Amino acid sequence: MRIRFFIILLLGLVLLSCDEESKVEKEIAEIDVNFDVERFDKAFAEAEPKDLPKIKGAYPFFFISDPDAFWIEKMNDSLQNELLAEVQRKFPDLDASKKELKGLFQHLNYYDKTFKAPRVITLTNDVDYRNKTFVNDSLVLIALDNYLGADHEFYQNIPMYIASNMEGNQIVSDVANDYAIKYMFQSNRRTLLDEMIYFGKLLYFKDVMIPFKTDADKIGYTEAQIKWAEANESQIWSYFIEKELLYSTNNKLPSRFIADAPFSKFGLELDNDSPGRLGQYIGWQIVRAYAENTGKDVMKIMQTEPEEIFTKSNFKPKK
């Protein structure tokens, strides 16, 4: 009888929590945010040298350091023109991305009342995949040539584990990540645990700000990879504990478990089956547990130190 009572109580709490989340999401959906997605890439692709003064007037911040001759040469460069043509072919419009960006901006406004919708501009950056997006208080830049699709011919010399995230569905996730870094504070990133929780906070920020995206999209895994991580969570955690890695300052650990890589490096048979960045994944689960246990606001969590998050999370991996 007592067990039945606790099951009913637990179900009631779950339903109440879901109802509260639904109420918050309805409030967020009512927030009015106005912005346009400005296509600098398209304007530049269609421009002739005589149009340069007009483009400079509209986007002066792109023309601070290079002389006009540089931009005119770029207009006439065949490789640049091919790149721009591929971007226009892949992205004749950005309706889907604009809808997702609107959702992100609404959530940001709900949790940060000072937030104002930025100016959003698309461009190309010679496939500099380390700088796909840029965010500041008033501006969001999106380099569309980094989102042409994993198997695009322009990405032939890029490792597949990186190219796999060069897809249009990653745009809002990358922008959200830039905002997460903007709100982040953490005094130490010395130990593996520090690094795990740093990236765990970035991923939890996405949980809150882009809840309409899947977990796989948030972390940049395939569906198979996220399922592998979920299924092996306990095994991964046991390895970290048994090898006493959490408080280690060994500078090789981030490259094994945090950095982009084709797989995580346990030195076990399971390595080749594993996705990279499993330290980030476990850090994410720790921060989720902390948020659930404490009920802390996401913005406060972004400012909370790793030791407090770990200690109060009472994290236990999925079996």
Q: Rounded CA gap, 35 and 39, in Å?
A: 13
- Which of these three, 110, 145, 175, is where a domain ends? 175
Does the residue 154 lie in any domain? yes
pLDDT-derived band of residue 319, with 50, 70 and 90 as boundaries? confident
For residue 38, what pLDDT is reported?
98
The predicted-structure confidence for 201-229, as pLDDT tens digits, reads as follows 999 999 999 999 999 999 999 999 999 99
pLDDT-derived band of residue 268, with 50, 70 and 90 as boundaries? confident
For residue 14, what pLDDT is reported?
47
The predicted-structure confidence for 164-203, as pLDDT tens digits, reads as follows 999 999 999 999 999 999 999 999 899 999 999 999 999 9
The predicted-structure confidence for 130-168, as pLDDT tens digits, reads as follows 999 999 999 999 999 999 999 999 999 999 999 999 999
Amino acid at 134: F
| Per-residue pLDDT at 8 exceeds 80 | no
Report strand pairing: 133-135 vs 139-143: antiparallel
pLDDT-derived band of residue 9, with 50, 70 and 90 as boundaries? very low
- Which of these three, 175, 209, 244, is where a domain ends? 175
Judged on CB neighbours under 10 Å (0-12, 13-18, 19+), 83 is: buried
Is there a single domain that holds both residue 168 and residue 199?
A: no
Is there a single domain that holds both residue 132 and residue 211?
A: no
Is there a single domain that holds both residue 156 and residue 204?
A: no
Q: Per the structure, how many domains does the chain have?
A: 2
Question: 10 Å Cβ neighbour count for 159?
Answer: 12
Contact 274, 228 (CB under 8 A): yes
Which among 48, 165, 146, 174 is positioned nearest to 90, based on CA atoms?
146
Does the residue 223 lie in any domain? yes
For residue 110, what pLDDT is reported?
97
Q: Rounded CA gap, 83 and 91, in Å?
A: 12
Could you say which DSSP state residue 139 is in? E
For residue 4, what pLDDT is reported?
57
Does the residue 133 lie in any domain? yes
The predicted-structure confidence for 16-60, as pLDDT tens digits, reads as follows 455 667 889 999 999 999 999 999 999 999 999 999 999 999 999
Which among 115, 136, 123 is positioned nearest to 83, based on CA atoms?
123
For residue 105, what pLDDT is reported?
98
Is there a single domain that holds both residue 44 and residue 164?
A: yes
Question: Which range of residues forms the domain containing residue 106?
Answer: 37-175
Does the residue 285 lie in any domain? yes
Which among 279, 273, 285 is positioned nearest to 309, based on CA atoms?
285
- Which of these three, 175, 209, 233, is where a domain ends? 175
Q: Rounded CA gap, 245 and 267, in Å?
A: 14
Is there a single domain that holds both residue 122 and residue 163?
A: yes
For residue 27, what pLDDT is reported?
94
| Per-residue pLDDT at 10 exceeds 70 | no
Mean pLDDT in residue range 283-298? 97
Does the residue 264 lie in any domain? yes
Is there a single domain that holds both residue 86 and residue 159?
A: yes
Does the residue 155 lie in any domain? yes
The predicted-structure confidence for 52-81, as pLDDT tens digits, reads as follows 999 999 999 999 989 999 999 999 999 999
Is there a single domain that holds both residue 89 and residue 129?
A: yes
The predicted-structure confidence for 232-262, as pLDDT tens digits, reads as follows 999 999 999 999 999 999 999 999 999 999 9
User: Number of helices and strands (H, E) in the chain?
Assistant: 16, 4
Does the residue 25 lie in any domain? no
Using alpha carbons, list the distances in angstroms from residue 48 to 76, 82, 92, 101, 144.
9, 16, 20, 31, 21
Is there a single domain that holds both residue 258 and residue 289?
A: yes
Q: Which two tokens stand for residue 319?
A: 């079996």
For residue 109, what pLDDT is reported?
98
Which among 94, 135, 112, 304 is positioned nearest to 208, based on CA atoms?
112
Strand order in the sheet with 37-39: 37-39, 119-123, 139-143, 133-135
For residue 318, what pLDDT is reported?
83
The share of the chain scoring above pLDDT 70, in percent, equals 94
